[in-house]
Amino acid sequence: MNRTAALSELTVDQVRSAQFNLHPGGPVIRPFGGSPTAADPSLLTPAESPDGAWHLFCHNLLGVWHFVSTDGIRFRKVQKTVPRAMRPNINSIDGRYYLYYEHTRTLAANALNIINLTPWRSEIYLTESDDLIHWSQPHCVLAHTRAYEESEHGVSVSNPYLLKEGEINRLYYSCGMTYIKDCGFCEPTYISYAESKQVNAGFIAADMPIISPDAQSPYLNLCAGCLKVYRLRDGYIGIQNGIYRKESGSHSAILMLISDDGLDFRFEKALIEPDGKPGSWMCQFVYASHLVFYDGRLRLYFNARNTADRIRGRECIGFAEAKIL
């Protein structure tokens, strides 16, 4: 396998049959900066970066942060890229870097939302860079325009993920808010998409979501979570984290979906599920992920949470790996 081969050169069957194994070293990024969370990783592989290194963007309560690594395992913190930000998605397009993220209100306003004193409100913003260090002034690229993005808890337009489809830029995103009682916070209800001929403006949201909660699904009976979509040689793979109730509590698992057109998805299998082990960093929830391909291997970076309890809950970032034969 070519060391610099792209994920798009693989077939659906190659990815579907891949056997993922958790990195034995545990999390690669743990909570930092006084925040209980390190979440929603998005990465550039060495082939995509300006310096031949791994670059990871993630968020904690204070904003989106930039980490760098020589091997994709041992990361060091570079800087806080944007405040009032979460759920980043980094893209390399024609030598320029585009960082989409969920833009929130102030930390104080978000705290008031958690205790139900003010409604949530978020939109998707974009900032650009030539070197991953100096960034343009952020601006909104997807605001609230659809009724399904609203709920009694506020308005959420979140979890951006860009897929270029020829001359069309398709931005998948999560929206709506479902209150998860044992966690004490909301998770995204639906998954939708918006399209534009420009990468940095003009996105128009679809009339209806493409994934909704399913009371009959063992992995999707509470809400939809988020979705990352990868175009392969002969189809599309979707990696979703569904939120579901099982027995007496809520959980999240990472799922593989398959699609012929990148819009109509069918469930294939669960990829990574909570391990249920007391004290484990991924005991109860396995959340948002990013799939990359490097040196003949797939790496699925993701964040996980040990418990629903708001006081004891901690979120870390780790990965699972599969060799492509």
Q: pLDDT tens digits, residue range 254-292? A: 999 999 999 999 999 999 999 999 999 999 999 999 999
Which CATH number belongs to the domain containing residue 187 in this structure?
2.115.10.20
- The answer to whether position 1 is within a domain reads no
- The answer to whether position 114 is within a domain reads yes
Q: pLDDT tens digits, residue range 188-225? A: 999 999 999 999 999 999 999 999 999 999 999 999 99
- The answer to whether position 2 is within a domain reads no
Q: pLDDT tens digits, residue range 8-53? A: 999 999 999 999 999 999 999 999 999 999 999 999 999 999 999 9
- The answer to whether position 69 is within a domain reads yes
- The answer to whether position 39 is within a domain reads yes
- The answer to whether position 209 is within a domain reads yes
For the segment 89-103, the average pLDDT, to the nearest whole number, is: 97
For the segment 124-150, the average pLDDT, to the nearest whole number, is: 98
pLDDT at 113: 56
Q: Output 161 or 3, whichever has higher pLDDT.
A: 161
Q: pLDDT tens digits, residue range 138-184? A: 999 999 999 999 999 999 999 999 999 999 999 999 999 999 999 99
Number of domains observed in the structure of the chain: 1
Tell me: pLDDT of 3 over 80: no
- The answer to whether position 248 is within a domain reads yes
Range of the domain at 275: 7-323
Query: Picking from 108-117, 274-283, 316-325, which range would have the lowest pLDDT averaged per residue?
Result: 108-117
pLDDT at 119: 85
3-state secondary structure the chain: CCCCCCHHHCCHHHHHCCCCEECCCCCCECCCCCCCECEEEEEECCCCCCCCCEEEEEEECCEEEEEEECCCCCEEEEEEEECCEEEEEEEEECCEEEEEEEECCCHHHHHHHHCCCCCEECEEEEEEECCCCCECCCEEEECCCCHHHEECCEECEEEEEEEEECCEEEEEEEECCEEECCCCEEECCEEEEEEECCCCCCCEECCCCCECCCCCCCCCCCEEEEEEEEEECCEEEEEEEEEEEECCEEEEEEEEEEECCCCCEEEEEEEECCCCCCCCCCCCEEEEEEEEEECCEEEEEEEEECCCCCCCCCEEEEEEEEECC
Cα–Cα distance for residue pair 229/165, rounded to 1 Å: 11
